[in-house]
Structure 1
Amino acid sequence: MSATNATAASMPGDWHDFFALTKPRVMSLVIFTGLCGLLAAPGNINPVLGFTAILCIALAAGGAAALNMWWEADLDRVMKRTAGRPIPTGRLQRRDARDFGLLLAGASVITMGLAIGWLAAAILALSVFYYAVIYTMWLKPRTPQNIVIGGGAGAFPPLIGWVAVTGDVTAMPILLFAIIFFWTPPHFWALALFVQTDYAKAGIPMMPVVRGERSTRRQILGYAVLLAPIALAPFLIGAAGPLYGVVAAVLSLGFVALAWPVATRSAASGDAMRPEKRLFGFSIVYLFVLFAALVADAYISRGGFLA
């Protein structure tokens, strides 16, 4: 470590560095899907309690992200995409990230239990454990299926939001979990295709690195096809209305259509990775619009959330 980094590491980071530990971009999606689960759930919740539930989901996600950065600090130093994070640059010490993550996660679970209910709190605690331990510590460094199984970590927020309102787990929140679970592999592998050299350099067995581009591309298409009926399922079982059904059908067709050129394109086709970048960008829009349609559909069917 250079003298500059050593000096920086000896000083506590400012709030920007601690905020960066929470992975704000990822957290925004977590907050959004959690809020959608809460708003789409049947029944009502006091606005203050609803805000508390979403705050707890956000804090838990931030805590899990901080624990991820604490554990993977050495890998982050190697990868170009992550080398500018607070720990690799020496702006924060690893133990600060660990303690910050544990504080956020612990406080969020306890607050959720006391304010909302212990079932929601238990699922929230499971989501932190799933991401920080099962995915980060166990799956990610060991298997190319890491993102497939680990996708469950990001699928919990709408389930937790739903349970915060209803107090139980039914078919609909499980479907919302499944949508994100099956969305994660094609979303993440599209990114992994154009940053695979980073993963290879760090020794992380992501699918393109271990199984190669051809296998990864085929699996992206396969998961996109599997995602379509799962995304339509809330409409098919009568838990969502026609607005959601139409949006889910159109978005899913678009997802498959964009996955097709990714699956059929060879590595020799050029290195611009335009189809992969288009699919990655669309996948983010896909999830935001799909869950927004779910909330809009619920609003219309009830005549308002306070009706």
Structure 2
Amino acid sequence: MSMRTPQVEPDPTLPPEITIYEVGARDGLQNEKAVVPAAVKAEFIRRLAAAGLATVETTSFVNPQWVPQLADASEVLELLGDEGLGPRRPVLVPNERGLDRALEAGVGAVAIFGSATESFARKNLNRSVDESIAMFAPVVERAQGAGLWVRAYVSMCFGDPWEGPVPVDQVVSVAERLMDLGCDQLSLGDTIGVATSGHVARLLDALHDRGIGVDRIGVHFHDTYGQALSNTLVALRRGVTVVDSSAGGLGGCPYAESATGNLATEDLVWAMAGAGVRTGVDLEALLGTSAWMAQHLGRPSPSAVVRALTPAPA
């Protein structure tokens, strides 16, 4: 018999409450080869919200040629209606054209996505780091002017498949430049999942020393090497309270072949529940949602908790 809930033993080294920034509908699905219908995406977002995930990234206004899976961004937001708007429903925008579409749709929050390395900036944005920051500047300025909440993602914070190790100072420098544009929150991306605990602590300390405190930071770990949850715990013990995760552990990165799925939201919720940390998420509802999406995708969820608690189909 599997235990449906962990035994609760409060961990005083962790924050009493965290905010889960759910990326399954965007980061999770962007890698899928078969296009998921807009109606299924909208229903997925509704179910995630109903399970208690207050912050759900909905889609991305990128060029459909780059990420065909997200070509239906406007349609998804139309299907969601008011549920897809507001400061807890961010959309990704790479440039001013993307921002125009986001503003037209009436969204309340946007995210830009930079890179700590030149190689990935070229692959992901077809620009150098300097050029990409110049491209983001008017996006952030106009978004802030329109009263939107703005997040900055930094990819490849802990290692890059083309460049190898990424110096902490280099990451801090790019992060600082993005936050200087006026962003509200910084998400540190371990795009290929190579971060380890000491590396996470060192980067957070270095950002703190440059005036970017944990109150403005979210962490985004991939589980390629099985380190996502342990790295998250290090960040939480340093005072971070925003964690990016993906329902069912969906996702990867279309431009980095060695990147596997994000930290699974269920694995995070289970760990937090056992430690007495509030997430506001109903694990049973979330399990049902991930099992439903796994059926749509035609394969089992990579999440360990989903596998432990969801009977395999006969």
The answer to whether the superposition gives a TM-score over 0.5 is no
* Structure with greater proportional helix content: 1
* Structure with greater proportional strand content: 2
Which TM class, normalised by the smaller chain length?
under 0.3
Larger radius of gyration: 1
Greater RCO, CA 8 A, separation 6+: 2
The TM-score normalised by the length of structure 1 is 0.28
The TM-score normalised by the length of structure 2 is 0.27
